[in-house]
Amino acid sequence: MPEKYEPLIIAFICTYCTYTAADMAGSMRLQYPPNVRVVKLLCTGKVDVLYLLEAFNCGADVVMVSGCEIGDCHFLEGNLRAKERVEYAKTLLDELGLGAERLEMFHIGASDAPKWAAAVETMTRRALELGPNPVGRKRPLPAIEEQIGDLMP
């Protein structure tokens, strides 16, 4: 393993539960690895397989999705949809050779800050075990780049 490998984790999390828990982890000063980058969504129901693949494409070593506890989704069933899509994306990752274990779905309630810290811990450890994402293009897919056009750096 190269010495400089510092894994990057992207986390798509929902506002009402996991994001609240993540904020609460801050209030409680729970300490967890600094490798995670959060993208806040209103609901994990918004998670698209495209997001997951693109995250890997852009250099994430592992990706996590975290929504409300099963049955507690603020939007009734968004977390269930997310779960389905994560499952599907995992099969794609296996097919691609990246490996399904680079992607994980969590369910963390708003008051469960320790669970969030533990989830980040778990995924960081996993990223270290799996090593760097071999794709790591660090640029968006051409289709996205085209849409963004002038705004591209």
Partner 1 sequence: MSEDKRTDRKGDLSGAVMVVGAGIAGMQCSLDLANAGFLVHLVDRDISIGGNMAQLDKTFPTNDCSTCMISPKLIDVASNPNIRILSRSEVTGLEGEPGDFKVKVHKAPRFIDLDVCSGCGECIKACPVEVPADFNLGLNKRKAIYRHFPQAIPSAFAIDKIGSSPCKVACPANVSAQGYVALIAQGRYKEALALVRRDNPLPAVCGRICTRPCESQCSRCDLDEPIAVRDLKKFLADWEVKQGEMDLPKVKEKRPEKIAVIGSGPAGLSAAYYLALEGYQPTIFEALPVAGGMLRVGIPAFRLPREVLEYEIDYIKAAGVEIRLNSPIGRELSLEDLREQGFEAVFMSVGAHKGLRLGVDGENLPGVLSGVDFLRQASLGRAACPGDRVVVLGGGNVAIDAARTALRLGSREVTILYRRTRHEMPAYEEEIEEALEEGIKIEYLVAPRRFIADGRQVNGLEVIGMELGEPDESGRRRPQPVAGSERVIPIDGAISAIGQEPDLDFLEPKTDLKADRRSRLLANPLTLQTSIPWVFAGGDAVTGPASAIEAIAMGKEAAISIGRYIRGEDLAAGRQREWSVAKVETKGLDKKSRRRPPLAEPTGRVRNFDEVVGVFDEAEAQAEAQRCLSCGVCSECYQCLEVCQAGAIRHDMSAQDIELRVGSLVLAPGFKPFDATQKPEYGYGRYPNVLTSLQFERVLSASGPFGGHVQRPSDGREPKRIAWIQCVGSRDASIGHDFCSYVCCMYATKQAIIAQEHAAGLEASIFYMDIRAQGKGFDRYYERAKKDHGVRYVRSMLSRVIEDPTSHDLEVQYFDEANNLVSERFDMVVLSVGLAPHPAAKALVEAVGVETDVFGFAKRQELNPLATSKEGVFVCGAFQAPRDIPDTVMQASGAAAEAGALLAQARGSEIRPEEFPPERDIRGEEPRIGVYVCHCGINIGGVVDVPAVVEYAKGLPHVVEAQEFLFTCSTDSQGQMARFIEEHQLNRVVVASCSPRTHESLFRDTLRRAGLNPYLFEMANIRDQCSWVHAKDHDAATAKAKDLVRMSVARAALLEPLHQFPAPVEQTALVIGGGPAGLTAALNLAEQGFYTHLVEKSDQLGGLARRLRRTLEGFDVQAWLSELEDKVRHNGLIKIHLQTEVVEIKGHVGQFKASLKSGDRVRSVAHGAVVVATGAEEYQPTEFLAQEDERVTTQLALHEALHGQGDPLAGVRDVVMIQCVGSRDEEHPYCSRICCSQAVANALRIKELNPDIEVTVLFRDIRTFSLKELYYKQARDKGVRFVRFDAERPPQVSPGAEGLEVLVFDQILGEWLSFRADRLVLSAAVRPNAETKHLAGALKLPLDSDGFFMEAHLKLRPVDFVNSGFFLAGGAHGPKFLEECISQAKAAAARAATILAQKEMMVGGEVAVVDGERCVACLTCVRSCPYGVPQLNEEGVVYIDPAACHGCGICASQCPRKLIQVQHHSDLQTLFKACHLRA
Q: Which of residues 117-146 bind partner 1 (CB under 8 A)?
A: 117, 136, 138-140, 144
Q: How far apart are CA 105 and CA 107, in angstroms?
A: 7
Q: How far is the CB of 98 from partner 1 (least distance, A)?
A: 16
Q: How far apart are CA 69 and CA 62, in angstroms?
A: 21
What is the DSSP pairing of strand 36-41 with strand 103-107? Answer: unpaired
Q: Which of 75, 118, 128, 130 binds partner 1 (CB under 8 A)?
A: 75
Q: Which of 5, 23, 129, 134 binds partner 1 (CB under 8 A)?
A: 23
Q: How many residues bind partner 1 (CB under 8 A)?
A: 59
What is the DSSP pairing of strand 9-14 with strand 36-41? Answer: parallel
Helices 20-27, 113-130: axis angle to 10 degrees equals 100
Binding site for partner 1 (CB under 8 A): 8, 10, 15-16, 19-20, 22-32, 34, 37-43, 45-48, 50-51, 54-55, 58-60, 71-78, 81, 85, 109-111, 117, 136, 138-140, 144, 147-148, 151, 153
